């Protein structure tokens, strides 16, 4: 609830500041724009092609298609994969496969499963298509939005399973 209030407050403040300036809202992409765009190369034009690995403070896996790299207090770089990256999961460690001390476009990331029966198991290597700079507020919005989408998908799947069970029961009654 607290995060929602922060997100709403930040959103209202940016709208108010845009109207006070008499111009357009800030040029930062909205959560909807970030989530709905295709992760093609054109999405990353003129964005950062490399990050200094020594400046990466945290790697936040939002889900199997979205990762945020924290660079500074309110500076994040967002990676969106075109397809799922098997092995990437929220709150799980990752391995960054890079050259030198820079994480660049076309380097790779892979999830690590420490709870595997065979010890540490690595996920698939997924190629990084590029980096888009976003704010901490946008990372928080993305986190909430993705969580809500997962919960909605689970609820729909649960409802579909319930309906299928009811249909099977009804069919058994008709058959007997």
pLDDT at position 81 is 92
Tell me how far apart the alpha carbons of residues 176 and 157 are, in angstroms, rounded to a whole number.
29
Whether residue 85 is predicted with pLDDT greater than 70 in this model: the reply is: yes
Kindly list the domain boundaries of the chain, sorted by start residue: 25-175
pLDDT at position 26 is 53
Whether residue 1 is predicted with pLDDT greater than 60 in this model: the reply is: no
The lowest-confidence range among 18-32, 40-54, 68-82 is 18-32
Q: pTM higher than 0.85, yes or no?
A: no
pLDDT at position 124 is 87
The lowest-confidence range among 6-10, 72-76, 120-124 is 6-10
Q: What is the mean pLDDT of residues 59-69?
A: 92
Give the tens place of pLDDT for each residue, 14-41.
444 444 444 454 567 777 777 777 665 4
pLDDT at position 8 is 47
């Amino acid at each position: 609830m607290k995060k929602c209030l922060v997100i709403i407050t930040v959103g209202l403040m940016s709208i108010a500041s845009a109207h006070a300036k008499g111009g357009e809202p800030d040029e930062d992409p909205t959560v909807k724009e970030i989530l709905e765009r295709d992760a093609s190369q054109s999405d990353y034009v003129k964005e950062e092609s490399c990050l200094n690995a020594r400046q990466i403070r945290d790697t936040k896996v939002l889900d199997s298609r979205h990762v945020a790299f924290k660079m500074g207090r309110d500076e994040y770089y967002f990676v969106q994969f075109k397809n799922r990256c098997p092995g990437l999961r929220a709150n799980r460690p990752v391995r960054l496969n890079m050259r030198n001390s820079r994480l660049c476009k076309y380097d790779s990331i892979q999830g690590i499963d420490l709870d595997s029966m065979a010890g540490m198991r690595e996920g698939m290597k997924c190629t990084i298509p590029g980096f888009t700079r976003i704010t901490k507020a946008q990372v928080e919005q993305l986190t909430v939005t993705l969580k809500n989408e997962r919960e909605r998908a689970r609820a729909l799947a649960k409802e579909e399973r319930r309906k299928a069970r009811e249909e099977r029961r009804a069919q058994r009654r008709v058959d007997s």
